[in-house]
Structure formats: structure tokens, C-alpha cells
Chains A and B, each alone.
Chain A
Amino acid sequence: MLGKTAGGLFWMFRYLERSENMGRLIETGFRIALTHPGGDEWQSVLQTAAAAQAYSETYDEVEQAQVIDFLLRDTDNPSSVLSCIANARQNARLVRTALTREVWEAVNDSYMVLKARLARQIRERDLPEVLGLVRQQAALVRGALHGSMLRNDGFDFARLGTFLERADNTARILDVKYYVLLPSVTQVGTSLDNVQWETILRAVSGKRAYSWLNQGKATPVGIADFLIFDQRMPRSLKFAVGKIRSNLRQLESEYGETHACHETAERMDRHLQTGRIEAVFDEGLHEFLSGFLFDIGNLGRQIEADYRFHG
């Protein structure tokens, strides 16, 4: 497979994952703002989306309608849902020969559907429907990938893009919110204020799952443990890194070559396999997450170099 093609698949799925995550962040912000008016949830959403800087260059005030528009459909914002899906499709065109017709049509459809739906500013009352559409489109592409693509190197690169983006996203959400968890960490076992943990869990579509696993009892340690170490949770760091490791292992055995990225992934995986949430809090949650984000960024660059995405 061409290095360029591998890179195209990797980025196509990173962007798809990002569009979905962005939609979920907007959904969370909207929900919290509705149920707890007067908070500064939108500022924190912008921070999580790594878009606070770009936003402040265009707007003076953090205002709900503007933030939503900026994150949803502003093409000057490279992380907006619309930018992400356009980038995903552009990459898909680039790697058209490595995609099945089903996958190509799914991503092309998504682009056309969302581009049409996001052509004008979205009214508040239409927002839930539009965000549902964003999630649904991402699921369609993912479904086409699983149902029709050969399980070869191309599939591995697509999945690496997905899980690298997902790990990065979950770690970022936790990092922006760690101050919510920290102050009460001394009182292990006490329940957190609803709104604080709700934000975090909703942003990773984990609210119901967490409640179900913990009989509705939310603790800072419990939530952090869920998002970092729970193997059952498909957006936890451990789950994402486990997937990255296994896709890299498949590439290793298909190509018969071991690279620097393999070593990094194995180390990160081992770290999460043996880690304990108590130790993370002792070390400092922010320090742990900063380290993780650094490693994930580094791993992405290693994969790009090891598999010759660029000349």
C-alpha cells in the first residue's frame, strides 16, 4: 500500500471520529446550559475542543449561539463538524482506490447530507435533530467499514486513526475537567454534584453506562477510573490504547517489520494494564493526563514516519 494511501485512511478516520466527538461536545454543552443556566459551560467546551484561541480571534464574547455555530459549521474553524466531515471526504477521495464502494458512498453521503443540513445557521430547536444526524452519519461510515472492508493493512490504518483520535479526545475532556474531580478527591466516596460529573460522562456518551455499572453513585475516583482504566468502556484510554496496540501488532505481523511506534504503543498499553486509579490521583491527574497526551501525540508522529505517510 502507498504510504500516502495509509496516511489518507488514517486521517479520514481521525476526522470522522473528530466530527462525532465535536458533535457530542456541543450536545453536552447545550444540555448543561439548558439544565444549569448561568454557568460557563461553553468556555469549557471551547477549551476541550481546543478551539478557545481560534474562537476568541473571531468573537469577543462567549455566547451560546455563536459557540454552537463556530463548532458546528464554521469552515474557518478547522475542527468544526463541517470542516471535519469535509476533510474526511477529501481524504476519502484521495484514497478512493483503498475504499470499498460502500465506504466511499457512506462518507460521500455523509458529506452531502451534512453539508446541506449545515448550509444555514441551526435554530436551537433543531439542534438535537442535527446532532443526532451527525452521530448517525458517523455510525453509517463505521458500519460500512466493518461490513465491507478487507481486514488488511488498510483497515488497520483506518482503525489507528479512529482510536488515536478517540484516546486524545477522552484524555482532553478529562484534563479540562480535572479540577472538577480534584477538590473533592480527599473525600473519597462522597457523591459529586450532578452537573459536574454529568458533563464529563455525557461528553463521552458514558452517562448511562456508568450509572448502570455503579448503581447511579458517582464519585471522582469512580469516574476517572471508568474513563481511564475500564476495559469495557469503548471510549476509555485503556480500551483505545489496547485497540491501537492490536492494530499495530497486526501490521507488524503482516509486514514482518517492527518500528518505534510499536515500542511506544506496547509501553503505553502496559502502563494502562498495570496502572491503578489511586496511584494516578497520588501522582496528580493533570500530570498523568499531560503525560498521556504527550505520548499519544508522539505515537501519531511515529506512525506517520514509520509507515511513510509523507515523502
Chain B
Amino acid sequence: MNDNKRFFDELRGTGDSSRAPYANYTEWFDGEDIRDLNRKSSEAENFFRRTGITFNVYGQAEADERLIPFDIVPRIISASEWTRLTRGIEQRVRAINAFLYDVYHRQEILRAGRVPVDLIARNEAFLPQMIGVEPPGGIYTHITGIDLVRTGENDFFVLEDNARTPSGVSYMLENRETMLQMFPELFTKVKVRPVSDYPTNLARSLGACMPVNASGEEAVAVLTPGIHNSAYFEHAFLADNMGVELVEGSDLRVQDGKICMRTTRGYRPLDVIYRRVDDDFLDPLNFNPDSLLGVPGIFDIYRAGGITIANAPGTGIADDKAIYSYMPDIVEFYTGEKAILQNVPTWRCSEPDALSYVLDNLEELVVKEVHGSGGYGMLVGPAASKKDLALFRKKLEAKPGNYIAQPTLALSTVPILTKAGLAPRHVDLRPFALFSPRGVEITPGGLTRVALKKGSLVVNSSQGGGTKDTWVLEGD
């Protein structure tokens, strides 16, 4: 089958001329020399290396810092497309927060029978310690990074709701900086909405969620697992751009009912911690006792209103892959509206009928671990070898409850620059939404991940994916 017919290309659509959002860009591109652009492209790589925008790959001791490849062709979204997306994202973020408040309080949705009790009660992502806890400002997910894919002119699907500690926002910002440096003239030709306000908005958004017992200083810090974490660059980047301290567990301790950080002048109280440490490692006294990354007793201080933790502990129950399939119900239950963004049809392998369907159609489906993340431990049926298929068949039969399956989506393509010119590659999109008592703020843009290998549908950076700058236009 012809790739161009089967997949929606965001540059060409179904015809041969550029779709409207790409018109100005194409006009510019046609006047450029491919060799010059390829040279620019390697300049971009140098730029990233110098800036230190790297990520560490787990399980690779040597070359522990790698670059995520950057493609210089932007992914372009029109104003009206974006408006529709943001309405859907806002609806979803509000529903997720209402759902979280509910499952940790009255559990109306379980009583109403819209979500099975077992799915919550037996879920590792459900944090019983959070029952009855009032998060400051009523906010659970201060930052959400919802993964979207497109399959047609008007078809957007939510692939995943990242409600724990979504990463990638530094790439959104640095990709734009890079483009501004490399192609300043393009930005006078094409009116692109800026993304650079994100750190300021994040700081303001976090500052609007002071705990009950606040210090009066509005002291915010970013908590990182440390220099060896795969996203350390991003943690440092965000702290730097917000103008707040970047702390590790070893810099913090409990003092007088507050979390305090060790400064050159003694211990100073903090009010908000934007943590990039998983729930499990947050507090060895309350969660994983072996954790060296967290702060002993931080959860007790949280419950007593001494600190705001963003995102709140226990948000994982909202982006769990088994919960995902209930999201259309969840959105409707709390907002009274139909979900604006579609869900991908999902087979829950814990259900015998679904399991037998999945086993019968394995070569057509994508199988994901319920608790996995980042493209680890996943099977893409159409691209898998016989051996992989057999292996997953065994896994599914052994522990069906660990897996969900989805149809292989016809992910849209956006061109990348190759030596020979433009070539279509599959993409997804992760916009970032901030939520505070002031409302939902969605930065016009996001992280576009692109599968650089021809025909590949896996966009994860750990699996050979790259990124693109994402442009949201002022107009259509």
C-alpha cells in the first residue's frame, strides 16, 4: 500500500499541494538549498551539544549523555485546530482533577458503577495514604502532558494522559530557541505564537497553590532525583528559568513543621516543591523505605498543610493505562459533556473476551504494559518479528491483567529533512497544560516527537525517536 494514501500527511493532506498551515513555510522552503539546510541541521546538533541538552539512557553506562535528534522542519498547527485541541485538553485536565478528588474522597464514580471498584482498589497507582487529603488549591495535576496523535483532518486521539511527572517541556522551549537562532527570517514570514512564557507561567501557577501553613516567602523549588537522572537537564533548565532552587532530597529536611532546604545561611523553609521524583521515592518513611532520593517525613508535612507537592502524590491513578479506557466515561461523569478528544479503542486483556480477541489479532495490534512507560516493554504487532509475537503471546497468557491492546493507529506524518529532501515520518504531540486555581493554561505548542526511521510508528526517544519544533499559528 502506498504510504501517502494510507496515512494523513500534515503537509500535503490528501492532495498534492500544501495544506493551508504550511503554505508560507513551503514557500520559504522552496527557495532554500537542500545542502544548506542539511548544513544548518548539523549546526543545530552542535548547538544542542554545547547547551548540554542531553538525556541519559538507562542501562547505558558509556555514552551516558545522548542527544535527542532534532529535525529542523517544524510541525505546524493552525489557530483553529489549536482552539479545538485546547478545549479538549482543558476538559480532560479538569475531569482528571475531579476524578482524582473523587477517588480520594467520596468515590461517587465507583458508587455509580461507572468505574469498577477493583480497578481502583487493586491498582498499584492508587495511593491509600492520599484518602481524605486536601491538596492545596484543590489541584492534583499542576502539570499535565497529554499525548495526542492525529489520523486525519479532524481526527485527534488521546494516546496517554501523563498526569504524574510529564517531561519534555525543555525540548519544547529549546527547540524553539534553536529555530529562532537558525532561521530568524522564517519567523517574520510566518506568525508563530511564542512558547517562551512557559517557565514564568509555571512559576506563577505553582505560586498560586500555597499550602495552608505558608512561610510568606512563596518559596518554590524543583526536586530532582539528581545528576544521573535521564531528565536532569530538564530539571535544571526549569529551575533556572523559573529562578528557583534545584534541590535533591539530601538538601532537604523537616524542621518546625516545614520542609527546609540547606542554604549557605542555614535552613530555609519551602512552600512548593515541583517534584520530578516518583511517588514511590518521595518519602522513605511513608512509601518505599529504601529510597535515598526523597525526604523522610515530607508526606506528613504535606498532609499537615506545610508544603505543596506538585503534582500531588497519587495522581498516577488517573493516567494508569487500565483507567485510560474509562476516560470517556470519566469525562462525561464529571463535566456532563461528551469528551471532545477521542480515546483510542482499548482492549483490557484482563477481560477474557478481550484477551481472546487480542491473541487472535496480535499482528494487527499494539500491546502495552499497564504500568509501563516510555515505550519500554511494548509490542507493535505489524512491525514485530515472529519471535516477538510468540514472546508476547506467552506474556499475555501468563499475566493478561498486565496488558492492554489498541489498534495500530495510522499516525499522521510530517516531513523531516533528509539528504535527499523532505520525507514523511510519523509524529505525535505532547502539549503541556498548567492547572491552578487561576484556571487551565495551555502553552501554544508542545513537544512533537517523530519516528525518524522510515515507516516506524514508535516515536519514543529511547527507541530512536527525535523531536521537532511545534508551531501554533496566529491565524489559519
Contact = CB atoms under 8 A, between A and B. Distances in A.
Interface of A: 1-6, 90, 93-94, 96-97, 101, 104-105, 108-109, 112, 153, 157, 255, 257, 307-308, 311
Interface of A is mostly: helix
A255 B266 CA distance: 11
B264 A307 contact: yes
B81 interface: no
Given A2-B247, A97-B236, A97-B239, A255 B51 contact: no
A109 B246 CA distance: 23
A255 B265 contact: yes
B248 interface: yes
Contact of B263 (A1, A93, A94, A112): A1
A2 B261 contact: yes
Nearest to A156: B264
A37 B77 CA distance: 71
B49 to A, nearest CB: 7
B433 to A, nearest CB: 25
22 contacts: A1-B263, A2-B247, A2-B251, A2-B262, A2-B263, A2-B264, A3-B251, A3-B264, A4-B248, A4-B251, A6-B264, A93-B52, A96-B52, A96-B233, A96-B240, A97-B240, A97-B246, A105-B50, A108-B50, A108-B51, A255-B264, A307-B264
B5 to A, nearest CB: 45
A96 B264 contact: no
A93 B232 CA distance: 9
A73 to B, nearest CB: 17
A108 B50 CA distance: 6
Contacts of B248: 4
A4 B262 contact: yes
A109 B50 contact: yes
A94 B227 contact: yes
A272 to B, nearest CB: 27
A153 B236 CA distance: 19
A3 B263 contact: yes
Contacts, number: 63
Contact of B246 (A6, A90, A96, A101): A96
A278 B140 CA distance: 72
B227 to A, nearest CB: 6
Contacts of B45: none
A157 B236 CA distance: 20
B357 to A, nearest CB: 49
Nearest to A109: B50
A1 B232 CA distance: 19
B203 to A, nearest CB: 13
Contacts of A112: 49-50
Contact of B245 (A2, A94, A307, A308): A2
B250 interface: yes
A108 B52 contact: yes
Contacts of B264: 1-3, 6, 153, 157, 255, 307-308
B341 to A, nearest CB: 35
A5 B240 CA distance: 13
Interface in B350-383: none
Given A2-B251, A96-B246, A105-B50, A308 B232 contact: no
Contact of A105 (B51, B227, B262): B51
A227 to B, nearest CB: 32
Contacts of B262: 2-4, 308, 311
Interface string B256-289: 0000011111100000000000000000000000
Contacts of A1: 245, 263-264
Interface string B50-62: 1110000000000
Contacts of A108: 49-52
Interface string B450-472: 00000000000000000000000
A6 B264 CA distance: 7
A5 B232 CA distance: 15
B263 A96 contact: no
Nearest to B265: A255
A257 B49 contact: no
Contacts of B261: 2
Contacts of B50: 105, 108-109, 112
Given A255-B265, A311-B262, A97 B250 contact: no
- The residue in B233, B262, B264, B266 that gathers the most chain A C-beta atoms within 10 A of its C-beta is B264
A112 B67 CA distance: 14
Contact of B236 (A3, A90, A93, A255): A93
- The residue in A1, A93, A307 that gathers the most chain B C-beta atoms within 10 A of its C-beta is A93
Given A2-B245, A96-B246, A97-B245, A257 B52 contact: no
Interface in B33-60: 49-52
Nearest to A153: B264
Nearest to A157: B264
Contacts of A4: 248, 250-251, 262
A276 to B, nearest CB: 37
Contacts of A157: 264
Nearest to B247: A2
A4 B51 CA distance: 22
Contacts of A101: 51
Contacts of B237: 96
A112 B247 CA distance: 27
A5 B250 CA distance: 12
A96 B250 contact: no
Contacts of B240: 96-97
Contacts of A6: 264
A153 B250 CA distance: 21
A1 B263 CA distance: 5
Contacts of B233: 96
A211 B211 CA distance: 67
A62 to B, nearest CB: 32
Contact of A90 (B51, B227, B250, B263): B227
B265 A257 contact: yes
Interface in B388-433: none
Contacts of A2: 245, 247, 251, 261-264
Interface string B203-242: 0000000000000000000000001000011001101100
A153 B261 CA distance: 17
Nearest to B250: A311
A153 B264 CA distance: 9
9 tightest A-B contacts by CB?
A: A96-B236, A307-B264, A97-B240, A3-B262, A97-B239, A97-B246, A6-B264, A105-B50, A1-B264
